[in-house]
Amino acid sequence: MKPCFPSVPFFENSQSQVRHWIEQYQNQTIVFEKEHEAALSRLLPLLVCGEQSAQWVFFNEHQRNSQGSHQGSEQAFERIVADEQLHEMALALVQRQLPKPSDLPSLKRRSQHFYLEFGHQITFMDHFAQVACLDALVCRIMLAIERGELGAQHPFTLLCRMIKQDEARHVSASKHYALELGFDHSAWPTMRGRVADKLHQLLESERAAFEVLGVDLDWVFKGQGEP
């Protein structure tokens, strides 16, 4: 399937648990109940697109830093790119086993648009503040899936838990980086609200699919999405 965003060069230095998940499940069929399968097939394109976009955010910053603009964080960025690559691989592995929703092109287009707009014409510090807020919301979605209808021991639940652990680390890395670049502490609530509104707009059409998986979008967005 054509990706939302082209791939970045492969980095190998992820320490994410997701690597082990891929090793364990890459040759297995992951069994879902029919209704969960249909719901997940609508959500995975949005998640996969997010992982591809995240790779570019951190890859670009890695390149910018290695040219001397803000040295010292290259390794951390490389590791994040590598994490996002593993997330994409694992989610794509599940996606390949699921039916394709009939409106897949429009789902992909909408998420592509969301991520392209996301980093458009803003400062680096605001961009990383946004990324911290977005990843914090992704953590909340993963937590809701974990507590949801698939059950605590389902392979996809296990994957979400591992992705959540990585994303929590990305939240603090992005947050610290934004602050280092000059982002003002007092601006977090506004930024959080803005990111939550945009993501809510993207996900609202998939409310029913989230509900089938036991995820209440209102709960996701009611939280602080604390970065």
List interacting residues with Fe ion (CB under 5 A).
51, 54, 84, 87, 135, 167, 170
DSSP 154-188: SHHHHHHHHHHHHHHHHHHHHHHHHHHTT--GGGH
**What residues contact 166, with CB distance under 8 A and at least 6 apart?**
16, 18, 83, 87
Q: Residue 87 or 108: which CB sits closer to Fe ion?
A: 87
Q: Residue 51 or 61: which CB sits closer to Fe ion?
A: 51
Q: How far is the CB of 26 from Fe ion (least distance, A)?
A: 18
Q: Residue 106 or 172: which CB sits closer to Fe ion?
A: 172
Alpha-carbon separation of residue 221 from 8, 51, 197, 208 (angstroms): 31, 20, 9, 16
Q: 3-class DSSP state for residue 7?
A: coil
Q: How far is the CB of 99 from Fe ion (least distance, A)?
A: 24
Q: How far is the CB of 78 from Fe ion (least distance, A)?
A: 13
Q: Residue 14 or 65: which CB sits closer to Fe ion?
A: 14
Q: How far is the CB of 85 from Fe ion (least distance, A)?
A: 9
